[in-house]
Amino acid sequence: GNSVTQMEGPVTLSEEAFLTINCTYTATGYPSLFWYVQYPGEGLQLLLKATKADDKGSNKGFEATYRKETTSFHLEKGSVQVSDSAVYFCAFDLNTGTASKLTFGTGTRLQVTL
Amino acid sequence: NAGVTQTPKFQVLKTGQSMTLQCAQDMNHNSMYWYRQDPGMGLRLIYYSASEGTTDKGEVPNGYNVSRLNKREFSLRLESAAPSQTSVYFCASRAANYGYTFGSGTRLTVV
């Protein structure tokens, strides 16, 4: 069935370190891919998205590239900050029109320390 | 501010009690969703409404009912709450260009 697999957390990094959070998906069809971020005590916010192969989504220094051949959408940031501490969710949408819905991974908690 | 509004933010229920979680959006979105978030399991879809007047089951619908009251409002009802329904519930709405907007969540505890 359709699913998203994310690397398990927590991921603990020092400030200014390089971040990679792996995400792979299994889906029928040609999904759109998303990264959402959840800060403590808050709802989900869209971080970035990509809708076709080789597209790169980017926002706030985060990037992810839609790799159809490896069914992956890994999240990267060159230099993390303490304020990036949050839970990150990879998700996809199968683009089935009005019946579209997001399928989420389990989330990866990132903790950035000084 | 435009967005998705959920009420209440917190709720404690006793096993067997019923309650309705309310969700309203003011962005004129056609599609609305209810998810639950549990530790280590990410967000799982309970029910969704592709458009006003339609509702469909998601991944984990058992123990829940929904009503799409109008285009703005999509409520989630627990008829007889169980401890397994202790969770954080998120409502979301979607625009045609794949933009999903989430509410701030309802933290429900069933004792």
Question: Dihedral sign, CA of A4, B32, A44, A96?
Answer: positive
- The pLDDT, as a whole number, for residue A30 is 86
Tell me the mean pLDDT in the region A63-73: 96
B103 pLDDT above the threshold of 80? yes
Q: Phi, psi at residue A66, to the nearest 5°?
A: -75, 110
Give the residue from A64, A51, A55 showing the smallest Cα distance to A23: A64
Question: Chain centroid to CA B68: how far?
Answer: 11
- The pLDDT, as a whole number, for residue A29 is 81
Q: pLDDT confidence of B41, banded at 50, 70, 90?
A: confident
Give the residue from A74, A72, A49, A77 showing the smallest Cα distance to A61: A77
SS3 track for A12-54: EEECCCCEEECEEEECCCCCEEEEEEECCCCCEEEEEEECCCC
Residues of B within 8 A of A46 (CB-CB) are: 99-100
- The pLDDT, as a whole number, for residue B16 is 97
- Is B98 in contact with A93 (Cβ distance < 8 A)? yes
B1 pLDDT above the threshold of 70? no
CB B30 within 8 A of CB B44: no
B102 pLDDT above the threshold of 90? yes
B97 pLDDT above the threshold of 90? no
CB B109 within 8 A of CB B86: yes
- The pLDDT, as a whole number, for residue A64 is 98
- The pLDDT, as a whole number, for residue B40 is 81
- Whether residue A10 is preceded by a cis peptide bond, meaning omega within 30 degrees of 0, is yes
Tell me the mean pLDDT in the region A15-44: 93
Residue B71 per-residue DSSP state: S
- Is A104 in contact with B40 (Cβ distance < 8 A)? no
Q: Which residue would you say has higher pLDDT here, A95 or B28?
A: B28
Residues of B within 8 A of A103 (CB-CB) are: 45
Tell me the mean pLDDT in the region A30-50: 92
A98 pLDDT above the threshold of 80? no
Tally of CB atoms within 10 A around A3: 12
Rounded to whole angstroms, the Cα distance separating B56 from A83 reads 38
A2 pLDDT above the threshold of 90? no
CB B65 within 8 A of CB B77: yes
Share of chain A above pLDDT 70, in %: 98
Q: Phi, psi at residue B84, to the nearest 5°?
A: -65, -10
Q: Which residue would you say has higher pLDDT here, A1 or B89?
A: B89
pLDDT tens readout for residues B59-73? 999 999 999 989 999
For residue B99, give the chain A residue with the closest CA.
A46
A113 pLDDT above the threshold of 80? yes
